[in-house]
Amino acid sequence: MGKLTIVPTPIGNMEDMTFRAIRILKEVDVVLAEDTRTTSKLFQRYEISNKLVPYHLNNEHKIVERIAADIASGMHYALVSDAGTPAISDPGFLLIRACIALDVEIECLPGPTAFVPALVNSGFPSEKFIYEGFLPLKKGKQTRLQYIADQEKTVVLYESPHRLLKTLKQFGEILEPNRQLSISREISKKFEETVRGNCEELIEHYTHNPIKGEFVMVIAGKENRKNKHGAN
């Protein structure tokens, strides 16, 4: 019986690779990559010469069963995404589920993922939180925004540069005026930045500053007035 190893890759800083991840990428039979061009740069940096096979949203439904069967027959595959941990807002879930169905061994290495440093850096309570990934593009977005606004737990989500201001303005219409947010971008990269404030302050900031990079939004939980003022 083979094995599937999930290998996180750097979200920005190339030095965030572990010794174990590098060793496994050198040892496996095949590496499945979201974008082989991106992974090739990582391979060049760490002198990895191994077979790369494209595995992304456009082809995973077509090849997932075949790959799972290959692994079940005895092959050792590694799965990487362009950045971070596979299956976290990236391809991987379908293959993991298919391997589980075939009773294939699966190991997931610990490693980089963007929402964890953004959450910790926000200063908001993190013992319990909600991870939303990317919001719907159109249909259902307003419903999700209201759901987030009603949460007493900290909420983490990803947002693209061209939608950031629009999303902030939509939140501004439903969040309490003093509700705090923390927005991190380009985590672990040269221009890493975290900006904190309420919606009005953040809209002001991003109206007058360039909106570039990948963004993680962290929204403080709704104030529980019953806990604050007592049950009377």
User: Which residue ranges make up each domain of the chain?
Assistant: 3-108, 115-227
Does the predicted TM-score (pTM) go above 0.75? yes
CA 103-77-60 angle, 5° bins: 85
Instruction: Tell me if domain 3-108 and domain 115-227 are identical in fold.
Output: no
- Name the CATH architecture for the domain at 115-227: 2-Layer Sandwich (3.30)
Cα separations in angstroms, 176 against 6, 86, 173, 219:
40, 35, 8, 11
Q: What is the pLDDT of residues 85-123, one digit of tens each?
A: 999 988 999 999 999 999 999 999 999 999 999 999 999
Burial class (CB in 10 A: 0-12, 13-18, 19+), 172: middle
Tens of pLDDT, residue by residue over 2-54, are 999 999 999 999 999 999 999 999 999 999 999 999 999 999 999 999 999 99
CATH topology of domain 3-108: Cobalt-precorrin-4 Transmethylase; domain 1 (3.40.1010)
- Cα separation of 183 and 111, whole Å? 21
